[in-house]
Amino acid sequence: MGRKVNPVSFRIGVIRDWQARWYADKNYSELLQEDFKLRQAIQSKYTEAGVSLVEIERQANEVSITIHTARPGIVIGRGGQRVDEARLYLEKLVGKRIRLNIREIHQPELDAYLVARTVAEQMERRIAHRRAMKQAIFRTLQAGAKGIRVKCSGRLGGSEIARRETLHQGRVPLQTLRADIDYGFTEANTTLGRIGVKVWIYKGDILPEAKEMETEETTAEVESASSEASPPTSAEEGERDATAKASEIPQDSSGTPAG
């Protein structure tokens, strides 16, 4: 089976959410082009900030953008100066009000795009591709990942013909929907051409929460058990005393009480 499905989009609606959250009856194509412009502008403006993900939400006349970065200091700047500059630049680009939110990525080794970007930057500095891939795999597994796969395609090592190499370690269950797999792709611009870098990182399974029906059944069972274990009432105790006294009265062979 060919691995042609994006692992992130394959899990949308199961364990992942959309990266752009808005709805439009009209002007859908225009808003989609705005999203592309915003993402490209942010990626080009903060090339050294390690921006991995850009989430976009739209309200009536406002666009809320959340930037996930490994180096928030570069994005924020001194006293938030660069944030204001970026907001004014994006507002001028789109013509709408922009609200920026910056979120830090605490473990860049577990982010697939940042790992791929690290491998690509090392190859741009003429480091051997196999060494860069092995270092990325070692750091990711040290950070707590359960599996990783790295694939490089292009003129590897400056050869005259393009080829692809893949290194992997651990498990990467691509067909398991509950598996939390992060996917990243980037390109290394070398002097001999572009080299594509793909990274898959498996972080573990995301299990569904307990259903409400199961909780209701367990509460019903607990209530029934408590009712069975509850002490008898005073009326029930009186009936038991009366039957006990009647059984103590002596009877003759015909069954009538004696005396």
- Torsion angle, CA of 163/167/172/174, rounded to 10 degrees? 0
Give the per-residue pLDDT at 152.
96
Of 23 and 217, the one with more pLDDT: 23
Give me the phi and psi of 225, to 5 degrees please.
-65, -40
Give the per-residue pLDDT at 66.
95
Does residue 212 have a pLDDT over 90? Answer: no
Q: What is the pTM of this model?
A: 0.77
Share of the chain above pLDDT 90, in %: 63
Contacts of 108 by beta carbon, 8 Å cutoff, 6+ apart: 50, 52, 70, 114, 115
139 occurs within a structural domain: yes
Of 164, 230, 171, the C-alpha closest to 198 is 164
Give the per-residue pLDDT at 79.
80
| Length of the chain measured in residues | 259
Domain co-membership, 98 together with 187: no
User: pLDDT tens-digit profile of 183-192?
Assistant: 999 999 999 8
CATH of the domain at 197: 3.30.1140.32
User: pLDDT tens-digit profile of 36-56?
Assistant: 999 999 999 888 888 999 999
75: containing domain:
7-106
Domain co-membership, 42 together with 82: yes
Domain co-membership, 88 together with 117: no
Strands (E), 35-122: 51-58, 62-69, 97-104
Mean pLDDT of 7-27: 91
Domain co-membership, 139 together with 194: yes
246 occurs within a structural domain: no
45 occurs within a structural domain: yes
Of 89, 48, 29, the C-alpha closest to 65 is 89
Domain co-membership, 122 together with 149: yes
Domain co-membership, 137 together with 200: yes
Mean pLDDT of 170-197: 94
Long-range pairs of 53-61 with CB within 8 A, sequence gap ≥ 24: 53/19, 53/113, 54/19, 55/19, 55/20, 55/21, 56/19, 56/20, 56/21, 56/22, 57/20, 57/21, 57/22, 58/21, 58/22, 58/24, 58/31, 61/96, 61/97
239 occurs within a structural domain: no
227 occurs within a structural domain: no
Does residue 92 have a pLDDT over 50? Answer: yes
Q: Number of structural domains, the chain?
A: 2
Domain co-membership, 148 together with 74: no
Q: State the Cα–Cα distance between residues 89 and 130, nearest whole angstrom.
A: 40
Domain co-membership, 113 together with 96: no
Give the per-residue pLDDT at 249.
53
Contact by Cβ (8 Å): 63, 95: no
174 occurs within a structural domain: yes
Domain co-membership, 156 together with 88: no
Mean pLDDT of 216-230: 64
Last residue of a domain, one of 86, 106, 126: 106
Give the per-residue pLDDT at 135.
96
222 occurs within a structural domain: no
Of 62 and 218, the one with more pLDDT: 62
243 occurs within a structural domain: no
Integer-rounded Cα Rg, in Å, for the chain is 33
Q: State the Cα–Cα distance between residues 136 and 138, nearest whole angstrom.
A: 5
